[in-house]
Structure 1
Amino acid sequence: MAMIFEGAEVVLPDSTARVSLRVENGHITGLDSTPDGANRIDARGLTLAPALVDVHGDAFERQLMPRPGVFFPLDMALMETDRQLAANGIATAYHALTLSWEPGLRSVDQATRILDRLAALEPRLAAENRLQLRWETFCFEARSLIARALSGALTPSVAFNDHTSMAMLDPAIPLQERPFDLVADYPSIDLTLMATAGKFEKRAARAGIDAAAYLRLLGEVWERRPQVAGAIAEVGGQARAVAAPMLSHDDTQIETRDFYRGHGARISEFPMNETVARAAREAGDWIVFGAPNAARGGSHLGSPGAADMAARGLCDILASDYYYPAMLAAVARMRAEGLAPLHALWKLVSANPAKASGLHDRGEIAPGKRADLVLLDWPEGSAPAPVLTLRAGRVAHAARGFGL
């Protein structure tokens, strides 16, 4: 049955306006059209906006493993994650699924199970749960899984991560200034020095092994370094073949951004300094920063401030990163600080991430677009609260009845 929202302040592509909005057969079919038998929804005093599109979120890991080494059943964890997405107004999410050489939470075996269970659960899920294949470039074992995922019905994105080189970086070099990961004279630590063991305790706990075993494994993986460039070329070619969006993660050098762009990665995810962000902008790349950064007022790693980058035209997309509520919180804070009008800020969490991901059917309120919508209770000076989330016109979350 058709529905029509009446009385809301509607976030349109170029403005906000109090207009009615009609939804039918999963799509937006009109603005300020007559009710014509549609179910009338009283949205007075509320804000109606395009539902959020999250290009990178790893908060699902907390449902999988709430405490180190404590795993919960996958179906339960994934369905709880889905509920959190919809309750935060997110109708499309790319889960940042790490494909690592580490055992445990971020292993290829665990990723395979998640891929399989998400596919099986899809008919029961409220939001559109996609995957960002957050591939650790030293993890050659993941290549067959990547190929399988790229052939699926919901095309994933591919993010090139090199946390291996980051882990091996000489501590005398600031993280935000590390050289291109594949340079011949990369400044790496000496794993034989016991003083380095403390650096890896948290990583080892996540992997379910002790620090000494983690160090031995890291040393073995580091020996693969000469083959990494070839593996990146292979995965990039597979992703290009199906037009999968590609991202490079934590870029620190223009050379890094140029390298991954050359393989088809037109999204710079969390660039770690302004120089790289400016180079990405000049090349016409999409630039992603973390919404928690903007919501909190700065990066916990000392990277550029997301809100400041957005104000200077160096941020196109805000991703939830590790906290789903952060996307709405970031928009609310930036709006309160007068950084830009609401319709412009909303592009950071909906239209732009949709376009960057090749999802041109959603992200905006306009006739013909998919009816992915969020209705917000947002009194002035208060935090926005989603009271209704629609995915393709179907109720994904409802905190109030609205007669639906």
Structure 2
Amino acid sequence: MTGEQIYTNAAIIRRDAVVHGTLVVRDGAIAEIAEGRSEKGIDCEGDYLLPGLIELHTDHLEGHYSPRPGVRWDRTAAIQAHDAQVAASGITTVFDCLRLGSDEEGGFEVGEMRAMADALKGAQTDGRLRADHHIHLRCEVSAPDVLDHFEPFQHEAMVRLASLMDHAPGQRQFQTMEQYILYYKTKKGMSDDAFDRFVEKRRHNSATHADRHRRILAERCAERNITLASHDDATAEHVAEACDLGTRLAEFPTSLEAARSSHETGMSVLMGAPNVVRGKSHSGNIAATDLADAGVLDVLSSDYVPISLITAPFVLHDRGMALSDAIALVTATPARAVSLDDRGEMQPGKRADFIRVRRTGEGDMPLVRSVWRQGARVA
């Protein structure tokens, strides 16, 4: 957006401090930040101005596209509904997860996610979207057809992130059968025989395919300069394997050991914002607040609830974390993890992706009042 806009009487959250003052935006970029009020511009009434949130891992789009088992919604309509909720939550950059690899959990057919990527590109080109969308490929390495699903994305410029995951019993997220029984058998109402067959097949596929697919996909991502993420690492051995593959982002480590090892190697540790808001993991693994207390939490993701990405930093702030550090978990650090160096901070020269948030006091739910992307108001 061309021209100049001024926003004053705001609490501007910078990377190292909160500045009570004035923001000047010029030609879609942050031009100046100064202390004190200006006689010109929009009065922000003391509200926070902070960078637009950066979401690296959300499967929220999938829920709009397939709202019920076996149901497929119009792709563009699903994308627009997802985008509207994302933007209203203060997210200006979003990495939409597309699932690769079919299984009994309800995976998609070869070609479905490629068609979704084409619809995303079309919606973005047509100016239908409020947020800046990129693609995150969630690759189920134990699925026999994951490479077939990956093939159509080999040269897709929207793909900037890929995660390698194995949801077989005894692997990563599901270290114990108690967790697996709850997640699959109980929730899906499987009989004992059906569940036993399901478990045996998943274990066989993992043993047969996971290691080979993990190596091949890591090599292809390195060739394309796609940021690589591990997923649900549980042990130091898992982390060592991830390091050998060139991983930069550790998604949802399930133990303090894995999180600490990832952090110490230089990987950014990502946990779910819903985990912070709820105070615990939905699958019984380690709480994100425990990692925050240990100093090994780097990035938050809304995962399945977009509004959690603005809520969680304030929860951490109420627990004692400096507000600028809490906000960095959803802005500066995720931007750095995927090499988006033009955004994520309230700093002159950066893109004018920012949001206005009101919060009246400790424990109060933050309210996203306005959202701007490159200086243009989008929500």
**Any idea what SS the aligned residue of 2:304 has?**
coil
1:224/1:170 Cα in 2 relative to 1: closer, same or farther (>3 Å)? closer
> Scaled by the length of structure 2, what TM-score is found?
0.88
Amino acid aligned to 2:147: R
**Any idea what SS the aligned residue of 1:282 has?**
helix
Identity %: 27
Among 248, 264, 268, the alignment partner of 1:282 is: 264
2:109 is equivalent to residue 122 of structure 1? no
Q: CA deviation at 1:282?
A: 1.8
1:108/1:168 Cα in 2 relative to 1: closer, same or farther (>3 Å)? farther
2:361 is equivalent to residue 380 of structure 1? yes
Distance in 2 between residues matched to 1:332 and 1:28, nearest whole Å: 24
Q: CA deviation at 1:59?
A: 2.0
Q: Deviations over 1:322-360 (max 9, x none)?
A: 1111111111222222x2121111011111111111111
C-alpha contact 1:97 1:106 (8 A) present in aligned 2: no
Distance in 2 between residues matched to 1:305 and 1:169, nearest whole Å: 13
Q: Deviations over 1:186-236 (max 9, x none)?
A: xxxxxxxxxx8994475699xxxxx95994797288357334322222211
Amino acid aligned to 2:352: A
1:268/1:167 Cα in 2 relative to 1: closer, same or farther (>3 Å)? closer
1:327/1:220 Cα in 2 relative to 1: closer, same or farther (>3 Å)? closer
Corresponding position of 1:100: 101
Q: Gaps (5+ residues) in structure 1?
A: 177-195, 206-210, 398-404
Corresponding position of 2:331: 350
Distance in 2 between residues matched to 1:292 and 1:39, nearest whole Å: 39
Number of aligned positions between the proteins: 371
What does 1:151-230 correspond to in 2, within 5 Å?
A: 151-166=155-170, 199-200=184-185, 212=194, 215=197, 219=201, 222-223=204-205, 225-230=207-212
2:335 is equivalent to residue 333 of structure 1? no
Corresponding position of 1:50: 51
Corresponding position of 2:24: 22
**Any idea what SS the aligned residue of 2:201 has?**
helix
C-alpha contact 2:12 2:18 (8 A) present in aligned 1: yes
Corresponding position of 2:140: 136
2:375 is equivalent to residue 389 of structure 1? no
Corresponding position of 1:272: 254
Distance in 2 between residues matched to 1:356 and 1:86, nearest whole Å: 21
1:93/1:307 Cα in 2 relative to 1: closer, same or farther (>3 Å)? same
Q: CA deviation at 1:174?
A: 6.3
> Scaled by the length of structure 1, what TM-score is found?
0.83
C-alpha contact 1:200 1:214 (8 A) present in aligned 2: no
Q: CA deviation at 1:255?
A: 1.1
**Any idea what SS the aligned residue of 1:54 has?**
strand
**Any idea what SS the aligned residue of 2:211 has?**
helix
Poorly superposed stretches of 4+, deviation over 6 Å = 33-36, 167-171
Among 288, 292, 300, the alignment partner of 1:318 is: 300
2:256 is equivalent to residue 255 of structure 1? no
1:197/1:173 Cα in 2 relative to 1: closer, same or farther (>3 Å)? closer
Q: Gaps (5+ residues) in structure 2?
A: none
Q: CA deviation at 1:384?
A: 1.1
Distance in 2 between residues matched to 1:356 and 1:166, nearest whole Å: 29
Q: Deviations over 1:290-328 (max 9, x none)?
A: 100101111122212112211221110110011111111
Among 339, 342, 345, the alignment partner of 1:361 is: 342
**Any idea what SS the aligned residue of 1:8 has?**
strand
Q: Deviations over 1:112-171 (max 9, x none)?
A: 221121111113211012121000002353335435435223332010010135589998
**Any idea what SS the aligned residue of 2:257 has?**
helix
